[in-house]
Structure formats: C-alpha cells, structure tokens
Amino acid sequence: MNGIENFKEKYPKQTLEIMGKPFSFRYYKNPHSDVTLVLLVGGLGLSDLLAKHFEAFSQRYSVISFDYPADYPNIQSLTDAIAALMRELGIRAYFVGQSLGGFMAQIIAKNHPEVVEGLVLSNTGTLSSELNKEGAQCFYDMLKRIDKSLFIMKFLPFGFVKKQMKKAVLSKTSTQLSEAEKEIMADLCDEMVVSLTKKYQIHMSLLLKDLQNHWNMERADFVHLKGKILLILSDDDDTFNESVKDTLISIMPEPVVVTDILGGHLALMLKFDRYLQTIVQFIDA
C-alpha cells in the first residue's frame, strides 16, 4: 500500500465548511492548465481508489477528488454541497463520474449548470423519464440488491463482508491483468478493506437507494453542454442493461460515445491507459 500512502502524503486533504458542515477534499491546482477535473467515484464512495487516475490527470490538469461525506445524507444535499464547494473555490469543471458518480454528475449538471464545463460519464446509467419498462426494471433489481446487502450487514461481521468483496474483485479480474496491474488492484482492495467502515457502507447504500428520487433527467437538462459530453460505456459491462445505455445516449446532446474500452464495470481500472488517453483526447479537442 506504499503507493497509496505516498499519494496521500503528496496530495493532503483540505477541509472547508460547506453549507454549515465540514467537507474534506484533495485538490491539486496545476499552474499550467485552466482545465479542472472533478473525479466522482462509484458506489463505494472512497475517492482514493482513484489515486492513480488523480495522479495521472494532474500532469495535465487541475484535479479534485473527495469521499462522499456522511454529513450530507442524501443525493440532493450532497450534490448541492459539491456545487457549493466548486463555487467556493471559484471553479467550473469537467465532472468525471464512474457508475454512481455518473448519476451525480448528471444531477449537478441539471441543477447547477454554472459549475459544469463538461461531462465524462463512464459505465453509468440515467434516471430519465424516457426509460422503458426494461430499463426501469434494471434499477428495481439494483434496489433489491442494495436491500439484500443492507440485510446481510445486519448479521455478518463487517470484516468478513469486506474480505468477501475483495475476494470477488480479485477473482473477477485475475485473468485479465498483468502482474503489475494485479499489484495495483491488490493495493486498491487493501485500501478498501482498511478504509471502508460499516457505517460508511450503510451511508453509501442509502445514497444509492436515494437515486430513485431523481428519476427526472431530460434532454433539455443537458443542451447547454452540447459537444462537451463523453460517454464511456463498455460493451462488456452489464451493470446497466442496453436499454439504460441507449436512453443515456439519447438524452445527451451529440455525445462522443466510446464502447470498446473493455473490462466490465472496472474498465477504468483494468484499461487505465486507454481510459486516460480517451478522456485526455476528448478534453484537449
């Protein structure tokens, strides 16, 4: 875990009072770029799992990352706080959202367009009013899985739950990685085991459930970002079904769509170089 510990030392957390509550974040201000990326992590909510991405992007841009603070208990308060943080820092940014982070980026763009320069949404979905029955069922199934995980956490020691999560990730990716990549994934999983608490996992599960209260995305919400939206939707990621993916594409105004970065839901980790290159080329263009 030396790599992640070195990262934490190099980019120490800062804390500001946002909407009356402490908000901690990492912020590297690149003196040679006027572009800022905000990295919005997925459902674990642990931003340091994107340490490698933060460091790589910081070579070209300013970068911000943060965990999703439990002081903001629902999606509305959390996305409002993120927008307030951007205003406090005087930043208009590209929001780079993975999975849950992609949904949050859309909600911020809808409700706080003044802080959004563009969107990069990877292996995520949309809660659009245009979703058909098949697309809606994908989310109902997700809610059932969240309820099941909350039930399990009531009865099993959380240390055991985390070890099973680590085992599942490593077994799923073991045949797809080089030895160097396996070491990186092991470090990330170790960081998850160390950092993730039962209280925080419950917080994140409830945040995911709260997405259903934002089932109102429309094409009109994103017209101001025409030409500034990149969708990375891996062909082999079945977390969100094709109906959800097609609806996301349809409500975005002229998005750039990339589907051949393979690696399932973890493509941003497994195909790091291609993922990074795709985003850099999009932003620089």
pLDDT in 10s for each residue of the chain, 285 residues: 567 888 999 999 999 999 999 999 999 999 999 999 999 999 888 899 899 999 999 999 999 999 999 999 999 999 999 999 999 999 999 999 999 999 999 999 999 999 999 999 999 999 998 999 999 999 999 999 999 888 888 777 767 666 666 666 666 555 566 666 666 667 667 766 666 688 888 899 999 999 999 999 999 999 999 999 999 999 988 999 999 999 999 999 999 999 999 888 888 888 899 999 999 999 998
Give the pLDDT of residue 184: 65
Token pair 């800022």 in the structure block, residue: 36
Domain count, the chain: 1
**Distances 245 to 97, 105, 138, 230, 251 between C-alpha atoms, Å:** 15, 16, 11, 13, 10
Strand partners, 27: 64
**Cα separation of 257 and 140, whole Å?**
26
User: 41: alpha, beta or left, given left = phi > 0 and alpha = psi -120 to 50?
Assistant: beta
**Cα separation of 111 and 221, whole Å?**
8
**Distances 24 to 62, 129, 182, 190, 256 between C-alpha atoms, Å:** 17, 34, 30, 22, 32
**Cα separation of 134 and 4, whole Å?**
40
Beta-strand pair 116-122/256-258: unpaired
**Cα separation of 36 and 175, whole Å?**
35
Sorted by sequence, the CB contacts under 8 Å of residue 246 that are 6+ apart come out as none
Q: What is the CATH number of the domain that holds 230?
A: 3.40.50.1820
Give the pLDDT of residue 266: 82
Residues of the domain holding 152: 2-284
Q: Are 37 and 99 in contact (CB under 8 A)?
A: no
